[in-house]
Amino acid sequence: MLQVRTYEGKINMTTFSDGDLVPSGETLEKMTENLKKVEELSERLQRVLTHRQTHNPALDGPNQELFGRAAQAYWAEAVNNPAKVFEHQMSYWADTMKQFVAAQHELTKGKLTAPPDPGPSDRRFANPLWDTHPYFNYIKKQYLINAEALTTAVQDVTDLEPVEKSRLQYFARQIVDMMSPTNFLATNPDALEKALETEGQSLVQGLENLISDLEANKGELVVKLADEGAFELGRNIATTPGKVVFRNRMMELIQYTPTTDEVHKVPLIIFPPWINKYYILDLKAQNSLVKWLVDQGHTVFVVSWVNPDPSYSDVGMEDYVEGGYLTAIDVVKSITKERQVNVIGYCIAGTTLALTLSLLKQRGERSIKSATFFTALTDFSDQGEFTPFLTDDFIDGIEEEVADKGVLPSVIMARTFSFLRSNDLIYGPAIKSYMMGETPPAFDLLYWNGDGANLPAKMAMQYLRGLCQRDELAKGGFELLGHKLTLDEVDVPLCAIACETDHIAAWKDSYRGIQQMGSKDKTFIMTQSGHIAGIVNPPTRNKYGHYTNPDLTLSHQDWLAQAEFHEGSWWPRWETWLQKRAGKMIPARIPGDSSHSALCDAPGTYVAKKATL
């Protein structure tokens, strides 16, 4: 039988004899009381699910045709190559029987112990009970056997197109991750220990957390990753001093207060992605790229995009270019009395920066001194991990969704990105919040990650159809504002930063797009880590290094093989590059001018608007 013992405040599961202690009456009473609370909360849960705001079911997974074709391919393989299928089945049966026999063998010794288990390293199974307790050990091993069997079966399906094979592998992985025993209370020792230790209070709090997340998203389950009450814009996040010096329907323009007596003559404009809020580059003083650039003597402007509601449904890429990029450039030139500016585009804002640079080239305008691209894709010929989401059935579902709502809701995008790393961004946080009743951590980056923005309907479909699906910018030109915009017309001095483990904008794809740009002055830097941590990498942390190689004619494999590795942040190396294009030092500028008075303090008003429908 199972005994619960308390040692130094921790709960341990072992065997017990008839003479061992059982939970006290007080403990049982407390647990009964908490279970009654669970019943009451369940009624509240039912209410929120009853009034759940629905979305197009096409966004939940592939249509049945994919699985039908996969099954057909599997049985065709069974007919044409029965030995291969038989080998799969025998391997699965053998592994299952071996672990069953091993467990039975341990039981015959008269001890309730698990067989020796060196097992694979998997942080989901960090609790020692997964290795030492026979119940949990058996469940873990059988899950890993099942997961391996499913993964191998899908991998060996041969009669499918590459795109369909990629999608099948993705959705099979989602099934494997979802069915992990850690995701269920009865087979999660951490959650069971916590429930016993807290006399059921953790289950009550977990259900409270679940209902709170559902209510916050109108019935859509989006796991809260950070404690929202721990942060306040302008107080302990997005705190770099500055003023909003311009506002229109598309954006607020922030100019930051100088911290040096002199500044570089050429101002710098940062265009962040409008999928999220700009303050990823101004989280807190210790890791704020904005503050760091101001401290290096740059006049820094940042565009803070509007968080669109359904009234923006007809806003397209052309509106972001004209009302955002071109307007910001003109305003900054007017305020600083300069003929040229340096610009940065991050992620989708980098993609759109490339469109803007081609447009300026065709119009004969020379307003840009240099351009920097952060994790930006301009060549979408290899869709990588996003392949499952860029086929017609999924994009058709998005098109119907935006036609209905006027925007692509941020909750849909957040869920899509999260499923690319489901164990880290969905199941792991869900276990801690819903099964163990823990409050999400006070983590600035995760807080920002949950503070999403909607996308206007027209813009979302232009981006998904024209750029992602048809790859028009890299293949002949993207039609916008009466021009066919191409990569070879991006001819200003440029520097691109890509991230080694980026699962949103793979570095090799970023590199391929930069290769096609027409500039004769190109620099490419690959930093360690991913889409966010690789960029938010201040020199003081000395955490991630970076690679450089001036020869951009090489394939991405050869570029990396011949690249030089440098310890520490890429920020100083890039800023040295920027200095050479930033002009001489002049007296520092205060925000605004006689024609652009300060409208409010940074971080402004647009950034505070939450994504709602």
Query: 3-class SS at 338?
Result: coil
CB–CB of 244/600 below 8 Å?
Answer: yes
Which residues lie closer than 8 Å to 312 by C-beta, 6 or more apart?
306, 406, 407, 454, 456
Neighbours of 319 (CB within 10 A): 16
Task: Please give the structure tokens belonging to residue 198.
Answer: 């807290």
Residue 499 annotated among the catalytic residues of the structure:
no
Burial of residue 352, with CB atoms counted within 10 A of its CB: 0-12 exposed, 13-18 middle, 19 or more buried? buried
One-letter amino acid of 456: P
347, 468, 495, 499: the active-site residue: 347
Rounded Cα–Cα distance for residues 355 and 473 (Å):
8
Q: What distances in angstroms separate CA 321 from CA 276, 315, 351, 360, one per listed residue?
A: 17, 11, 11, 11
Which residues lie closer than 8 Å to 82 by C-beta, 6 or more apart?
none
Task: Please give the structure tokens belonging to residue 459.
Answer: 């813009």
Q: What is the DSSP string of 224-236?
A: --S-GGG--BTTT
Which residues lie closer than 8 Å to 355 by C-beta, 6 or more apart?
317, 321, 473, 478, 480, 485
Strand boundaries in 195-267, DSSP class E: 242-247, 251-256, 262-264
Rounded Cα–Cα distance for residues 76 and 69 (Å):
10
Query: 3-class SS at 495?
Result: strand
One-letter amino acid of 394: F
Rounded Cα–Cα distance for residues 255 and 242 (Å):
6
Residue 199 C-alpha from the chain's centroid: 36
Query: 3-class SS at 11?
Result: strand
Rounded Cα–Cα distance for residues 126 and 423 (Å):
14
267 cis-preceded (ω within 30 degrees of 0): no
CB–CB of 439/225 below 8 Å?
Answer: no
Tally: H helices and E strands in the chain: 21, 19
Unique residue bearing structure tokens 């996040």: 237
- Cβ density class 519-530: b for 16+ within 10 Å, e for less: beebbbbbbbbb
Neighbours of 597 (CB within 10 A): 11
Which residues lie closer than 8 Å to 225 by C-beta, 6 or more apart?
425, 429, 440, 443, 446, 447, 449, 450
One-letter amino acid of 159: D
- Catalytic residue positions? 347
